């Protein structure tokens, strides 16, 4: 590939491209290290997410069974009224933490208010109590599974961006710098040969005259 139209074949330009190439290689190394760290964290979180998901499906089925039983025995109007009038007893706090330079969510579940049952017993039965207790026990695990899922998504987006930058450096930017340096060095060497040939001719003429 010829860069004669857009590259000045000078030693200053050669030095400039050498420095740019060195910086590009250094950035390539940093991005490759980042890629490896992201991959490692994604693999670890996928394992954690798999374990977290595996521990919630069976309890969720039990909760669905308890809620369904409550609807069948008490009726939708009563269950919906209890649900609508019940104050919240669990709080989910969302914060963030960093993995490499990626912000990922962190969820913390805590109880608020009284630790007892937050509704009256007059219009409910054991199925409502069982469902409420099961949901309360399972919510932290559901939030942890959601935390891992969102973290994996954020890290995967960062990995995709990092890989695109790596591809650009490896396949476009660095090869272009190398090609330009080869062009400049080849041009400079050709000029040196021409100058050397001219000097030889001048010397030969001077010797012939002497």
Using alpha carbons, list the distances in angstroms from residue 194 to 32, 147, 186.
44, 69, 12
Name the CATH architecture for the domain at 11-209: Orthogonal Bundle (1.10)
List, for residues 50-106, the tens digit of each pLDDT value: 888 887 888 888 888 888 888 888 888 877 777 776 766 778 888 888 888 899 888
Of 39 and 127, the structure prediction assigns the larger pLDDT to: 39
pLDDT, averaged across the chain: 84
Tokens of 94: 């969302």
The set of residues, in sequence order, having a beta carbon less than 8 Å from that of 91 and lying 6+ positions away, is 109, 110, 111, 112
Q: Write down the pLDDT at residue 123.
A: 59
Report helix, strand and coil shares of the chain as percent, to nearest 5. 75, 10, 15
Q: How far apart are CA 64 and CA 106, in angstroms?
A: 27
Q: Measure the CA angle with vertex 85, ends 80 and 87; round to 5°.
A: 125
3-class DSSP state of 7: coil
Of 102 and 196, the structure prediction assigns the larger pLDDT to: 102
List, for residues 90-124, the tens digit of each pLDDT value: 788 888 888 888 998 888 888 776 555 555 555 56
Q: Write down the pLDDT at residue 119.
A: 53
Q: How far apart are CA 40 and CA 34, in angstroms?
A: 10
Q: Write down the pLDDT at residue 101.
A: 86
Domain ranges of the chain: 11-209
Q: Write down the pLDDT at residue 2.
A: 42
């Amino acid at each position: 590939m010829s860069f004669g139209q857009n590259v000045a074949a000078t030693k200053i330009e050669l030095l400039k491209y050498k420095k740019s190439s060195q910086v590009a290689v250094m950035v390539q190394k940093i991005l490759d290290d980042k890629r490896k760290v992201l991959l490692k964290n994604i693999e670890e979180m996928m394992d954690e997410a798999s374990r977290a998901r595996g521990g919630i499906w069976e309890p969720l089925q039990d909760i669905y069974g308890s809620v369904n039983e409550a609807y069948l025995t008490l009726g939708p109007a009563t269950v919906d009224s209890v649900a609508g009038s019940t104050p919240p007893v669990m709080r989910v706090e969302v914060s963030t933490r960093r993995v490499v330079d990626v912000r990922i969510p962190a969820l913390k579940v805590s109880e608020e208010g009284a630790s007892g049952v937050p509704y009256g017993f007059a219009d409910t039965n054991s199925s409502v109590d069982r469902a409420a207790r099961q949901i309360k026990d399972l919510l932290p695990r559901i939030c942890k599974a959601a935390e891992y899922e969102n973290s994996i998504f954020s890290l995967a987006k960062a990995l995709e961006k990092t890989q695109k930058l790596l591809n650009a450096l490896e396949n476009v930017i660095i090869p272009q710098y190398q090609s330009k340096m080869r062009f400049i060095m080849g041009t400079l060497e050709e000029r040196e040969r021409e100058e050397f040939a001219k000097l030889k001719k001048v010397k030969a003429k001077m010797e012939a005259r002497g």
